[in-house]
Structure 1
Amino acid sequence: MLKIGEFSKLSRISIRMLRHYDEIGLLTPETIDPFTGYRYYSASQLSDAGRITALKDMGFKLCDAAELLKRWEDRALLEQRLLDQRQSVCLQAEEAVQRLRLLDTALERLRKDEPMKYDVTVKTIPERQVASVRQIIPCYQQEGELWNILMRETVPLHVQDGDPVLCCATFHDKEYKETDVDVEVHKTVRGNYPDTEHVKFRTVPQVLVASAVCKGSYALMDEVNAAVASWVEANGYAFDGPMFNIYHVSPHETNDPNEFVTEVCYPVRRK
């Protein structure tokens, strides 16, 4: 039998943490001396200690680790839980990358010590034929899934791009939503084609918009929106329909957010 100090050295888990594991029933000593209260562990418990440490390092909570230890021989369950945790960690990594981009953008702006200026223009976007996918998606960040559907289902049809080709995303909700957002992506095309399971071919009417071009990360979108809103208010216009983005340079063309070029468009009318 191993004293708690010896077990601590071999398992590389502090005595304080071993006592905590004991309190929550995660890793209890093999025996406790009823007179001295000393905790004794068996050498075979080192494997469980190693598994607990590995699960913690992979981001599992202690309660989850306890469940997995009890069902360690259920390989199918273990594999599924590992896959679920991997997906969760990937999402956290993406969020961390986004936060780093926001911090880098803020630092760059701070060091330049000057506000970005966005030129707002009013123009008419003419009527156009488009291939469109509109769905309720979990969040705005998953817009790319709609583009994947659009490309996957139009490739077999040998769809010809419009001239000019505009790739747009329209946000149909009347308010900002944290979940279950109504988003439509569409791309201008030439010719007539049959609808597919998710892609609808339709005509988008001409529209008068107030627009501004954002060059750089999507983290700048809030400032562009504010610039357009201020211009609309100051120049006697009113908003007149759901806003949309035109992606001139998007993640489809580059992995560098600093190279993105997005035109933010708000349909407007004269008051």
Structure 2
Amino acid sequence: MFTIGEFARHGRVSVRMLRHYDAVGLLRPARVDPYSGYRFYEAGQLARLNRVIALKDLGFTLDQVRSIVDDEVGADELRGMLRLRRAELEAAVAEATTRLGQVAARLRAIESEGHMPPQDVVVKSLPAVRLAELSGTAASFAPTDIGPVVSSLYQELCARLAAAGVTGFGPGLTYYEESPEGDGAILAHAGMIVPPGTAAPDVDFVELPPVARAATVIHRGPMDEVLPTVQTLAAWTAAHGHQVTGHSRELYLECPEDTSKWVTELQEPLADQDHPPLAD
């Protein structure tokens, strides 16, 4: 038998918590001294305590915890429940982390208002490229809309190219245009630069023509946090009297597993200064 203090130490919980669990009928002492009122616990009760704490820490209410442990759920079933709950929490954490990154990017854009951008914008020509691509529609340019679409397109594209035995492709290049569906929808083309003559089933191959003049800037970090760089490029083109024409592009120069180390060149084709495009 353990005193309540000893049991709390072995279970790595507080005495106050054990008293509360006793009061709500979740974990009763093995014996209560009728004269002193002291609570005593058995070593075997640590197993129930472990289950209670694990379920509580994973977000289950005390009523749910009681229902689970009172039904004497087996260890295998309990492990399955905990793994499922852990996966749900990990997904929530990942979503929250992504949103925090987007908030930080928006804050950086706000803080940079009225200041000279630290990035160097370069005007240069872009060569013609042959792309193996897949296309998909996103509801908008919001990271929560465009990110999953582009990511899934690249996963499927790389799988199809690999299945066809195509090697030596890349880097990736994404370009965007308004979707025929309208209502602000975006048609994203996720492509890989491939050598001439490359072929693969169920993959589209397109030739992007050369661009005489494009404003380009390097973005470092995940694409979820690209907003300040995008707005830097937009502010620069406007300040220098340029007009953007054609499809905006993203050229992924370095894409390690750690997305914080990604290096992406944003490219905005510019209208010819002598022959600007007609207004819509």
TM-score of Structure 1 vs Structure 2, range by shorter chain: 0.5 to 0.7
User: What secondary structure, in the 3-state scheme, does the structure 1 residue paired with 2:229 have?
Assistant: helix
Letter matched to residue 61 of structure 1:
G
* Corresponding position of 1:79: 80
Q: Tell me how far 1:35 sits from its aligned partner.
A: 9.7
* Corresponding position of 2:160: 153
Alignment of 1:36-47 (within 5 A): 41=41, 43-47=43-47
Distance 2:241 2:269 in 1: 14
Distance 2:13 2:120 in 1: 60
Q: Tell me how far 1:194 sits from its aligned partner.
A: 4.8
CA contact (8 A) 1:3 1:41 kept: yes
CA contact (8 A) 2:126 2:214 kept: no
Distance 1:170 1:147 in 2: 13
Letter matched to residue 264 of structure 1:
L
- Structure 2 residues without counterparts, runs of 5 or longer: 105-114, 139-143, 180-184
* Corresponding position of 1:224: 229
Distance 1:266 1:83 in 2: 44
User: What secondary structure, in the 3-state scheme, does the structure 2 residue paired with 1:237 have?
Assistant: coil
Distance 2:34 2:177 in 1: 69
Alignment of 1:90-129 (within 5 A): 92=93, 117-125=118-126, 127-129=128-130
Instruction: Tell me which of 55, 58, 61 is aligned to 1:60.
Output: 58
* Corresponding position of 1:107: none
CA contact (8 A) 2:218 2:263 kept: yes
Alignment of 1:1-271 (within 5 A): 4-22=4-22, 26-29=26-29, 41=41, 43-55=43-55, 60-63=58-61, 65-66=65-66, 68-69=68-69, 70=71, 72-73=73-74, 75-76=76-77, 78-79=79-80, 81-82=82-83, 85-86=86-87, 88-89=89-90, 92=93, 117-125=118-126, 127-135=128-136, 142=148, 143-159=150-166, 166-170=171-175, 183-189=188-194, 190-191=196-197, 193-196=199-202, 199-204=203-208, 210-214=214-218, 216-218=220-222, 221-240=226-245, 243-251=248-256, 255=258, 257-258=260-261, 260-269=262-271, 270=276
- Structure 1 residues without counterparts, runs of 5 or longer: 104-113, 175-179
Letter matched to residue 7 of structure 2:
F
In the superposition, the TM-score normalised over structure 2's length comes to 0.62
Q: Tell me how far 1:251 sits from its aligned partner.
A: 1.8
CA contact (8 A) 1:161 1:188 kept: no
Letter matched to residue 117 of structure 1:
P
Identity %: 26
* Corresponding position of 2:112: none
User: What secondary structure, in the 3-state scheme, does the structure 1 residue paired with 2:218 have?
Assistant: strand
CA contact (8 A) 1:168 1:246 kept: yes
Distance 1:172 1:92 in 2: 32
Distance 1:257 1:81 in 2: 31
Residues 200 and 51 of structure 1: is their aligned pair in 2 closer, same or farther, counting only changes over 3 Å?
Answer: same
Letter matched to residue 11 of structure 1:
G
User: What secondary structure, in the 3-state scheme, does the structure 1 residue paired with 2:226 have?
Assistant: helix
Q: Tell me how far 1:17 sits from its aligned partner.
A: 1.7
User: What secondary structure, in the 3-state scheme, does the structure 2 residue paired with 1:21 have?
Assistant: helix
Q: Tell me how far 1:19 sits from its aligned partner.
A: 3.5
User: How well do the aligned residues superpose, as a CA RMSD in angstroms?
Assistant: 4.7
Letter matched to residue 48 of structure 2:
D
* Corresponding position of 1:106: none
Residues 228 and 156 of structure 1: is their aligned pair in 2 closer, same or farther, counting only changes over 3 Å?
Answer: same
Q: Tell me how far 1:154 sits from its aligned partner.
A: 0.9
Distance 1:127 1:46 in 2: 69
Letter matched to residue 79 of structure 1:
G
CA contact (8 A) 1:123 1:210 kept: yes
CA contact (8 A) 2:58 2:85 kept: no
Distance 1:41 1:133 in 2: 63
The aligned length equals: 247
Residues 68 and 146 of structure 1: is their aligned pair in 2 closer, same or farther, counting only changes over 3 Å?
Answer: farther
CA contact (8 A) 1:118 1:212 kept: no
